[in-house]
């Protein structure tokens, strides 16, 4: 087990009102406000956690989903280690906008290798009785758009909230491990006469 704490920046994106601030506040302060105000620009909170023996400080960046705040949020995308694409299961439009959010993130964060970037998709407000998006179609979207993990959450009931942030950490650590593995592979190649090497990078 490594004693060093890793600082990871995760960013919550998605339409206004889907529950991004509520998820962050539930996770960090264990509070829920049924009449939360829209976010203006960005806010962030930190939380320390341990995942699979690694100590991590999670820096959670909560962004304003409303279109009029676009120029206030996009400068903060750079340097994010993971992006949580969030929609609300009772709001079909917020689900249909996931691709737009994904593209906006890749563009403004200047992601060099979008295919391997760790996105996690969250379907929030599963405590609501009337859904407009089924679990199956959300899973299909995730499968077809990059094989992203999909989690259904409720910031109100505290369902899967910690699991969602832990999954974000796992995704980042998995990419990091893959990179380390590739670098090791290349080191071995330098001393090898064989042309066959690791192809994972």
Task: Name the site residues for ligand GTP (rule: CB under 6 A).
Answer: 16-22, 33-36, 38-39, 64-66, 124-125, 127-128, 154-156
How far are the Cα atoms of 10, 22, 66, 176 from residue 156, in angstroms, in the given order?
21, 8, 21, 33
* 124 lines the binding site for Mg ion (CB under 5 A): no
Among 14-22, 23-31, 162-170, 190-198, the segment contacting Mg ion (CB under 5 A): 14-22
Is the CB of 88 or the CB of 171 nearer to ligand GTP? 88
Residue 160 touches which member of ligand GTP, Mg ion, none, C-beta under 5-8 Å by kind = none
* 21 lines the binding site for Mg ion (CB under 5 A): yes
192 CB contacts (<8 Å, ≥6 apart)? Answer: none
Is the CB of 56 or the CB of 65 nearer to ligand GTP? 65
Instruction: For the CB of residue 48, give the shortest distance to Mg ion in the complex, in Å.
Output: 23
Is the CB of 37 or the CB of 190 nearer to ligand GTP? 37
* 39 lines the binding site for Mg ion (CB under 5 A): yes
Is the CB of 59 or the CB of 198 nearer to ligand GTP? 59
Among 17-25, 99-107, 114-122, 174-182, the segment contacting Mg ion (CB under 5 A): 17-25
Residue 125 touches which member of Mg ion, ligand GTP, none, C-beta under 5-8 Å by kind = ligand GTP
Q: Given the rule CB under 5 A, which residues bind Mg ion?
A: 20-21, 39
């Amino acid at each position: 087990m490594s004693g060093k704490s890793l600082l990871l920046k995760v960013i919550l994106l998605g339409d206004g009102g889907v529950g991004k601030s509520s998820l962050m506040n539930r996770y960090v302060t264990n509070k829920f406000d049924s009449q939360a105000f829209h976010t203006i620009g960005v806010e962030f909170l930190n939380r320390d956690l341990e995942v699979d023996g690694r100590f991590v400080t999670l820096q959670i960046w909560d962004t304003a989903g409303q279109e009029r705040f676009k120029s206030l949020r996009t400068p903060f995308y750079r340097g994010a280690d993971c992006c949580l694409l969030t929609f609300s299961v009772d709001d079909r439009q917020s689900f249909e906008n996931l691709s737009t959010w994904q593209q906006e993130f890749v563009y403004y964060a200047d992601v060099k290798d979008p295919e391997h970037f760790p996105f996690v998709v969250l379907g929030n407000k599963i405590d609501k009785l009337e859904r407009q998006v089924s679990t199956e179609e959300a899973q299909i979207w995730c499968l077809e758009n990059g094989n992203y993990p999909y989690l259904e959450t409720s910031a109100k009931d505290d369902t899967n909230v910690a699991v969602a942030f832990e999954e974000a950490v796992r995704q980042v650590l998995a990419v990091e491990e893959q990179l380390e593995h590739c670098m090791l592979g290349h080191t071995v190649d330098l001393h090898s006469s064989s042309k066959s090497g690791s192809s994972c990078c």
